[in-house]
Amino acid sequence: MLKDNGQQKSLILDTGKTTIALENEFWGVIEYMALEDGHDNWRDWFTENVLPNWDGKRNLASHTRSIVALWLVTDLEQCKAILDPSRDIKANMRRMVESMPRGSNLQ
């Protein structure tokens, strides 16, 4: 359960304060990605990378998990392309997005 394996963190949006509940693993990845991208804290990274693609209709925690997964797959594809220069990163990423259900925030 999230209660035992997760955390809630607060964020100020244009519409007011909100709380996001995520598993500890996702918070750890978000903290890591924020530091790797040169941000001082997770909120700055979150505001720059998660919120711009959020339409407000989908649950923010669910949207956040999707964005984190997409970033990790993108990084994986880029690393694989270094090992295999003939790899078509754009086609692979396009296939992944096209296989998502219609109406996804990522399409």
The mean pLDDT value for 4-8 works out to 86
State the pLDDT at residue 56.
87
State the pLDDT at residue 19.
93
State the pLDDT at residue 1.
45
Tell me what percent of the residues of the chain surpass a pLDDT of 90.
49
Q: Is the pLDDT of residue 106 over 60?
A: no
DSSP SS3 for 55: coil
| 53 contacts 42 by C-beta, under 8 angstroms | no
Domain boundaries, the chain: 2-98
Residue 91 pLDDT level (bands cut at 50, 70, 90): confident
| Distance between CA atoms of residues 68 and 50, nearest Å | 8
What is the average pLDDT value for the chain, to the nearest integer?
87
State the pLDDT at residue 104.
58
Q: Is the pLDDT of residue 2 over 70?
A: no
Q: What tens digit of pLDDT does each residue of 56-77 get?
A: 888 999 999 999 998 898 888 8
The mean pLDDT value for 22-39 works out to 95
Q: Which CATH superfamily is domain 2-98 in?
A: protein bp1543 (1.10.3990.20)
